[in-house]
């Protein structure tokens, strides 16, 4: 089968022929039907994140179960599923205490070998999934069933961008009606944050990106204001929020500079939620006095702070019922061979989500 592989840090991704392992107990084989091109995948290439190589890219995807191993109970052949790159074991301390998104047996940023070979040697897979490929073999707890009438390209977005962005608003920031929300970074996740904030009843949603080209996407998602980022961002946000600053700032880039900008643009006593996954050596500096005197809260939102097994089916139902619109998030439907060009567009800040349709 074919998959998109990076051989070494800084080298271009290219389609390679891979060999999947035989399916084992508790595993499922999924034919990938749609996969989103996420900024985390770009971070695996450009050195922001440093996984082992060679590496199969991709983690945001949906597909059809084509084979199941022994003892599998969560899925059957023919099921339409969304892939979960942070599957919960349901047995560790975090799972037992209602925080499955922090499961200690999930593998986070580190990619894994899972029996797939490239040129006869083991190959790693992004976030334990490696979804920019024709098929994957994964544990059954890494798939979530969704209704068969949900289109694969929309279903794929539920596995990362939409779940992450919506969860950041609902579960982490807990935005209330009438509040103001600043959103920095308008990729698929950021635009999902914008839409979720408006749905939560935010009176003002200020969307920020580095290019004016994102304005129409932000407005389509529900932004009330759009601002091109600059060194004067905090002053601009305060001028739009009665000189206080935003009640919430949700950072969707994963850089120290934008986290700091979110902090400065938030009102005294406000909340800063970091959604973007950044580099280990990109340090955020805040003075002890500033932390005390500002009374702001700074926290991360990992995978939307959501129980994926519950949240993904609920989001799927919202899409089918017309309560959640996702079409504006997909700016390009592409082939696997077109992913490198999609990464180039992403690096230039163009579009929202490119989705591979297989």
Assess if residue 248 is contained within a domain: yes
pLDDT at position 51 is 86
Q: Do 38 and 75 have their domain in common?
A: yes
What is the C-alpha separation between 114 and 56, in angstroms, rounded?
11
Assess if residue 279 is contained within a domain: yes
Assess if residue 156 is contained within a domain: no
How many CB atoms sit inside 10 A of residue 77's CB? Answer: 12
Q: Do 194 and 136 have their domain in common?
A: no
Q: Do 139 and 11 have their domain in common?
A: yes
CA angle 210, 216, 218 (to 5 degrees): 65
Assess if residue 316 is contained within a domain: no
User: pTM for this structure?
Assistant: 0.92
Q: Are 57 and 356 in contact (CB under 8 A)?
A: no
Assess if residue 208 is contained within a domain: yes
Assess if residue 73 is contained within a domain: yes
pLDDT-derived band of residue 220, with 50, 70 and 90 as boundaries? Answer: very high
pLDDT at position 112 is 64
Which letter does DSSP use for residue 170 in this model? I
Average the pLDDT over 177-185 and give the result: 98
Q: Do 204 and 251 have their domain in common?
A: yes
- The domain that contains 37 carries what CATH number? 3.90.180.10
Q: How many domains does the chain have?
A: 2
Q: Do 6 and 140 have their domain in common?
A: yes
- The domain that contains 266 carries what CATH number? 3.40.50.720
Residue range(s) defining the domain that contains residue 88: 2-145+326-357
pLDDT tens per residue, range 195-218: 999 999 999 999 999 999 999 999
pLDDT tens per residue, range 267-280: 999 999 999 988 88
Q: What H or E segment, with its residue span, contains residue 125?
A: strand 121-125
**For all residues of the chain together, what is the average pLDDT?**
94
Q: Does position 113 have pLDDT exceeding 70, yes or no?
A: no
pLDDT at position 205 is 98
Assess if residue 158 is contained within a domain: no
Distance of CA 64 to the CA centre of its chain: 21
Average the pLDDT over 22-49 and give the result: 92
Q: Does position 110 have pLDDT exceeding 50, yes or no?
A: no
pLDDT at position 347 is 86
């Amino acid at each position: 089968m074919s998959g998109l592989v990076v051989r070494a840090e800084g080298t271009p991704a290219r389609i390679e022929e891979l060999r999947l392992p035989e399916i084992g107990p508790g595993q499922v084989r999924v034919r990938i039907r749609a996969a989103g091109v996420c900024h985390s995948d770009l971070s695996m290439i450009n050195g922001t994140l440093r996984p082992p190589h060679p590496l199969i890219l991709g983690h945001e995807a949906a597909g059809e179960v084509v084979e199941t191993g022994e003892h599998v109970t969560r899925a059957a052949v023919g099921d339409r599923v969304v892939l979960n790159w942070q599957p919960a074991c349901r047995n560790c301390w975090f799972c037992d205490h209602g925080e499955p998104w922090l499961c200690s047996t999930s593998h986070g940023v580190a990619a894994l070998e899972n029996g797939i070979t490239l040129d006869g040697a083991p190959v790693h897979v992004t976030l334990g999934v490696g979804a920019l490929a024709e098929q994957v073999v994964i544990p059954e707890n890494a798939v979530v069933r969704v209704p068969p009438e949900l289109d694969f390209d929309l279903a794929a977005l539920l596995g990362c961008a939409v779940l992450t962005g919506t969860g950041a608003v609902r579960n982490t920031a807990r935005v209330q009606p009438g509040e103001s929300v600043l959103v920095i970074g308008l990729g698929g996740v950021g635009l999902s944050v914008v839409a979720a904030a408006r749905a939560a009843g935010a009176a003002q949603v200020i969307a920020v990106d580095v290019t004016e080209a994102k304005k129409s996407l932000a407005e389509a998602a529900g932004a009330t204001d759009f601002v091109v980022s600059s060194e004067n961002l905090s002053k601009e946000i305060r001028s739009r929020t009665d000189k206080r600053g935003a009640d919430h700032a949700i950072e969707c880039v994963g850089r120290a500079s934008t986290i700091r900008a979110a902090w400065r643009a938030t009102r005294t006593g406000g909340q800063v939620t970091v959604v973007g996954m950044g580099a280990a050596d990109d340090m955020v500096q805040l003075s002890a006095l500033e932390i005390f005197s500002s009374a702001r809260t700074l926290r991360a939102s990992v995978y939307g702070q959501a129980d994926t097994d519950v949240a993904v089916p609920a989001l799927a139902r919202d899409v089918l019922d017309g309560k959640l619109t996702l079409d504006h998030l997909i700016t390009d439907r592409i082939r696997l061979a077109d992913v490198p060009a999609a990464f180039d567009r992403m690096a230039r800040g163009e579009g929202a989500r490119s989705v591979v349709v297989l």
